[in-house]
């Protein structure tokens, strides 16, 4: 039963290789995307820190994204 699932009448090598390749490509894309996102978050947090306290309050109150980025950036460092 399990050998039929693994070999799939001789096509198992192609099927399992395509699954492995798809998983590998998705993992690489996820890794690169998360790495780029973290880089942009750090740059954005540095820009927010450079603002005066009054400007910082205005930006953080108006933008939900800015407040989340800034709060997550402060937790990691």
Would you write out the chain's pLDDT as a tens digit for each of its 77 residues? 889 889 999 999 999 999 999 999 999 999 999 999 999 988 988 888 898 989 988 888 888 888 887 777 765 54
CA distance 17 to 52: 55
Q: Domain range for residue 46?
A: 2-76
pLDDT at 69: 79
Please name the residues in contact with 67: beta carbons below 8 A apart, sequence gap of 6 or more.
60, 61
pLDDT at 67: 81
pLDDT at 74: 65
pTM of the full structure: 0.72
User: What is the tally of structural domains in the chain?
Assistant: 1
The pair of three-digit structure tokens given for residue 40, joined into one six-digit string: 């942009």
Distances (CA, A) of 21 to 14, 24, 59, 63: 10, 5, 43, 39
pLDDT at 11: 94
């Amino acid at each position: 039963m399990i050998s039929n699932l693994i070999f799939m009448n001789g096509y198992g090598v192609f099927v399992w290789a395509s699954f492995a390749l798809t998983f590998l490509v998705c993992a690489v894309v996820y890794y690169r995307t998360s790495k780029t996102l973290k880089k942009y978050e750090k740059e954005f947090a540095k820009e927010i820190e450079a603002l005066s306290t009054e400007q910082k309050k205005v930006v953080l109150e108006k933008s939900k994204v800015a407040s989340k980025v800034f709060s997550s950036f402060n937790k990691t460092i």
